[in-house]
Amino acid sequence: MPQDIVVIGAGVVGISIAAELIRHGHKVRVLDRTGVAAETSQGNAGAFAFTDVMPLAAPGIMRKAPKWLLDPLGPLSIPPRYALQIAPWMLRFWRASWRDRHDASVAAQSALMDLSKAALERQIASTDGEHLIQRDGQLQLYEGEAQFRESLPGWELRGRYGIKYDLLRTPEEIAEIQPGLDRRFTHAGFTPDWINTTDPKAWTRHLAQSFQAAGGEILQCDIKSISSTTSQVELTHAGGTITADKVVLAAGAWSHHLARTLGDRIPLETERGYNTTLPAGAFDVRTHLTFGAHGFVVSRINGGVRVGGAVELGGLTLPPNYKRAEVLLEKASRFLPGLDTSGGTQWMGYRPSIPDTLPVIGSSPKTDNVIYAFGHGHLGLTQSAATAEIVRDMIAGTKGAISLSPYRADRF
């Protein structure tokens, strides 16, 4: 039966959910405090990273963390003034890195990725979006034999979950896929099924236009709290209240604050990611490039080059540290000797991160009328179409394609 549904959040996850729900006959409104793709969805690397099933909380991560954390510009950092505040989250992160939790996370992530890959193709077809898609694969690059060998268990694990890949063992093999790399990169893993969008902001706006063309409404509104009665949900904002049959909370890094007003405490932290986007002609990027040991990627965006990544666990209120973007760009200029670093635009975004790297997808423990769909970390774009189909099935009361137990809100 059609329902009156409000989706909080106009990033790629929220817009994908709204578009899927209206396509199945519901009355849907999207509320966002800043607008469509105005936050993290506008500036990410543009990757549908279906092969990225390895959680950040991996066995051995805590042995590496002290070295990283001592470097304020390293691939993983915590600003000293934020260290005490994030300590409970880090304790859960450490526990998630144990082998039993890690293997369960990989299995759950792989199931969600399989659904995400198929759901994206359905989303592209239903919105006529192929012109915004790049199907060029991805290279994970390694400096030397030792680094490559350390990566092999991860590649074997991907293979067990059906992920296609080719291992390259010489700079010459790498150059056949991506010329112009420094020869320090002697080995690589190539995943041919990796997909990018030409521009994540344009992709999200494309989905929003499809939603509006079907009769959906997008309003700029800063929701302050959520409460639930027996039959409806009430949303409070500065101008009054809004009611709906159901509410989907997909507000990214801000979601846990709203969940708390309903009485749910969810351990979400913010991975602040930095990048620099260079204009067209900066470098001939032919595939998505991942420099895993250095915590950043290089991708092609609108014919230009986006250099970004790293993890700064620093919450929502500390000022940006754009030296991190500068460090990544300087490294990229060494790794891609022909890269023209002039004319770039810097950006910082907030990735919503749960300790075990899995999103929260499911009903609030307080009420079935509020559905949570947030905490995707750096995989929001990747998993947005699958999340939309999962929420659609929940609202319809039909059995979904995968078990939602690993993603439930009360798993902590």
pLDDT of residue 102: 86
pLDDT of residue 330: 96
Q: Which pLDDT tens digit goes with each residue over 260-299?
A: 999 999 999 998 999 999 999 999 999 999 999 898 999 9
* Mean pLDDT computed over 75-100: 84
pLDDT band at 30 (very low <50, low <70, confident <90, very high): very high
- Find out whether 211 and 225 touch, Cβ atoms under 8 Å: no
* Mean pLDDT computed over 143-170: 94
Angle subtended at Cα 352 by Cα 351 and Cα 356, rounded to the nearest 5 degrees: 115
Q: Is the pLDDT of residue 214 over 90?
A: yes
pLDDT of residue 185: 98
- Find out whether 369 and 245 touch, Cβ atoms under 8 Å: yes
pLDDT band at 134 (very low <50, low <70, confident <90, very high): very high
Q: Which of 7, 20, 42, 25 is nearest to 218 (CA)?
A: 7
> Which residues are within 8 A (CB) of 66 and not within 5 positions of it... i.e. 6 or more apart?
none
Which range, 75-89, 96-110, 172-186, 309-323, has the best average confidence (pLDDT)?
172-186
> Which residues are within 8 A (CB) of 369 and not within 5 positions of it... i.e. 6 or more apart?
228, 231, 232, 233, 245, 246, 247
Look over the chain and give the mean of its residue pLDDT values, rounded to a whole number: 93
Q: Which of 51, 53, 58, 293 is nearest to 165 (CA)?
A: 51
pLDDT band at 58 (very low <50, low <70, confident <90, very high): confident
pLDDT band at 69 (very low <50, low <70, confident <90, very high): low
pLDDT band at 1 (very low <50, low <70, confident <90, very high): low
Q: Which pLDDT tens digit goes with each residue over 348-359?
A: 999 999 999 999
Which fold is adopted by the domain 1-58+98-131+195-268+355-412?
Answer: FAD/NAD(P)-binding domain (3.50.50)
CA distances from 252 to 32, 39, 46, 69, 260 (A): 11, 9, 17, 25, 14
- The counts of H helices and E strands in the chain are 10, 21
Q: How far apart are CA 194 and CA 166, in angstroms?
A: 12
CA atoms within 13 A on the CB side of 153: 7
pLDDT of residue 85: 87
pLDDT of residue 405: 96
pLDDT of residue 179: 98
* Mean pLDDT computed over 27-55: 93
* Mean pLDDT computed over 172-176: 98
Q: Is the pLDDT of residue 24 over 90?
A: yes
* Mean pLDDT computed over 324-334: 95
pLDDT of residue 161: 87
pLDDT of residue 97: 84
Q: How far apart are CA 59 and CA 62, in angstroms?
A: 8
pLDDT of residue 295: 87
* Mean pLDDT computed over 146-156: 94
CATH of domain 59-97+132-194+269-353: 3.30.9.10
* Mean pLDDT computed over 297-313: 93
For a pLDDT cut of 70, what percent of the chain falls above it?
96
CATH 3.50.50.60 domain extents, the chain: 1-58+98-131+195-268+355-412
More confident residue, 1 or 264: 264
* Mean pLDDT computed over 147-172: 94
Single-letter amino acid code for the residue at 149: R
If 0-12 CB within 10 Å is exposed, 13-18 middle and 19+ buried, where does residue 365 land?
Answer: middle
- Find out whether 5 and 217 touch, Cβ atoms under 8 Å: no
Q: Is the pLDDT of residue 60 over 80?
A: no
Q: Is the pLDDT of residue 239 over 70?
A: yes
pLDDT band at 99 (very low <50, low <70, confident <90, very high): confident
CATH 3.30.9.10 domain extents, the chain: 59-97+132-194+269-353
Look at 187-191, 320-324, 341-345 and tell me which has the smallest mean pLDDT: 320-324
30 phi, psi to nearest 5 deg: -110, 130
How far from the centroid of its chain's Cα atoms is residue 345's Cα? Answer: 21
Look at 17-31, 56-70, 191-205, 279-293 and tell me which has the smallest mean pLDDT: 56-70
Neighbours of 386 (CB within 10 A): 28
DSSP 346-384: EEEEEEEE-TTS--EEEEETTEEEEEEEE-BGGGHHHHH
- The runs of H, that is alpha helices, within 24-165 are 61-69, 83-96, 99-127, 145-160
Residue 278, classed as helix, strand or coil, is: strand
